[in-house]
Chains A and B, each alone.
Chain A
């Protein structure tokens, strides 16, 4: 059964006073409004969230949201796949409609993080690691530092190419009123910012963020009745890589990206050359390169050239992270994969405003952990 997306919304990302429950409710309500669908029509509700229990001592958030939005007695479920919870939510929502189990599925992703110190938030995120890794105080940023060093040394890539990713995504974020940062940065600022995980500096990392995003899924048949403009999920794939990061044969290959994108391309019947726009999980600048290579847009060790020659700029051949990416839009863990879907949807139905590019086919790649779990979604305009 063809699965369509007919509504999208996101709250302002950034430092928010609101707690998770009300952030989710805000995005959920706006998404239903966007599609002109009433709460009573919702049959399944999925809430993508990594760690509400650890961040704010609140569990059962899918139940809270179902009650707050008045979608009872809809089936509800919380989806946790760490940073790729949002992408996993897209997968669940797609499955629910494709299988015929639900004709109207609301997906809301969210996280509330900024009330914790950076150290506490880093520790919560680092708790996804194997105990043999955790005891060494490893953090996701330190995995990024080790991977970036290996990439730069092995492929003789210039350090500046990573800064270009940050500069590009900040530039894109200026046009996104929902982004945490709507501020351009210079190469100098990126390259002279404090070291966080050598060779990576502050501007190679996404911020800590509160926020929520939502998408509404239905059958293509129903979508045609409800609206003229919608997108379809034409391909989707999910894959899992090693839990222990150092056990991967090649630190520069994200196996989950390769496997999930291959599955998504196969389902959609397209290849990397057919993409018009993509949202990649730039939690760290180096990840934009690894994903461009993993989804088959660039050969191994060459994606840095696309940042340097302008290919991935908004006016380039394949615009990457027109939303500003995690880098400038922010990264409220469970919301991020959903927000990637929101951007691709808005690009495909022509609702991206000043960020609009010409696009019929878009891809979103949502990465959990350090590539541990990955969901790749391909959407097409209808």
Chain B
């Protein structure tokens, strides 16, 4: 498992990837694994009304990574509800971010259920 951001030949980076670069329309040809980097919390929330199969409360954050000078953001769960804007976080692998057996997409093959939570580095 990796947390792949995708880059086009013009240096634009997105997470997740797209068929064509949303900025310039070129094909994205390269991946960068964000799970090996640290990022900074742009904003966050603790959701107390979550859908079936999702932990409650569910703390989520927008995190910004610096990939060779290009800012790229990701949304993800946070390992703790003790979080502030500006905190440095690192991705930590989790096998099931939500219950794959529950909810509208249960059993759907194109939905991944594992991924990375953000954990404060300090």
Contact = CB atoms under 8 A, between A and B. Distances in A.
A146 B55 contact: no
B62 A251 contact: yes
A226 B46 CA distance: 54
B42 A251 contact: yes
A123 B55 CA distance: 13
Interface in B1-39: 14-16, 22
A244 B22 CA distance: 11
Interface stretch (A70-78, A191-199, A228-236): A191-199
Given A131-B111, A134-B105, A142 B45 contact: yes
A200 B14 CA distance: 29
B97 A246 contact: no
B43 A197 contact: no
A237 interface: no
A149 interface: yes
Contacts of B54: 137
B75 interface: yes
- Main SS class of interface, A: helix
B62 A137 contact: no
Max chain A CB contacts within 10 Å: which of B45, B55, B113? B45
Interface string A120-136: 10111011001111111
A135 B45 contact: no
A195 B58 CA distance: 12
A246 B75 contact: yes
Instruction: Bin chain A's interface residue count.
Output: 35 or more
Contacts of A119: 49-52
A118 interface: yes
Instruction: Bin chain B's interface residue count.
Output: 35 or more
A127 B61 contact: no
Nearest to B63: A246
A135 B51 contact: no
B44 to A, nearest CB: 6
A117 B98 CA distance: 18
A199 B74 CA distance: 20
A136 B62 CA distance: 12
Contact of A54 (B16, B97, B98, B104): B104
Given A137-B58, A141-B49, A146 B44 contact: yes
B77 A137 contact: yes
B48 A149 contact: no
A336 interface: no
Contact of B103 (A118, A123, A194): A123
B102 to A, nearest CB: 9
B60 interface: yes
Nearest to B56: A137
Given A153-B85, A246-B75, A251-B62, A139 B48 contact: no
A135 B50 contact: no
A131 B51 contact: no
Contacts of A245: 75
B21 to A, nearest CB: 11
Nearest to B43: A150
A225 interface: no
Interface in B53-75: 53-55, 58, 60-62, 73-75
B43 A137 contact: no
Contacts of B73: 246-247
A136 B22 contact: no
A146 B98 contact: no
Contacts of B58: 136-137, 142
Contacts of A153: 43, 85
A123 B52 contact: yes
Interface in A129-183: 130-139, 141-142, 145-147, 149-150, 153
Contacts of A251: 42-43, 62
Contacts of A126: 51
7 contacts: A132-B115, A139-B49, A147-B43, A149-B85, A242-B22, A246-B62, A251-B43
Nearest 9 interchain pairs by C-beta: A145-B45, A137-B54, A123-B51, A150-B43, A142-B47, A132-B16, A246-B73, A198-B46, A246-B75
Given A198-B47, A246-B62, A247-B73, 16 more contacts: A119-B49, A123-B51, A127-B104, A137-B98, A139-B49, A141-B49, A146-B44, A146-B61, A146-B62, A150-B85, A153-B43, A196-B47, A197-B47, A246-B73, A246-B75, A247-B15
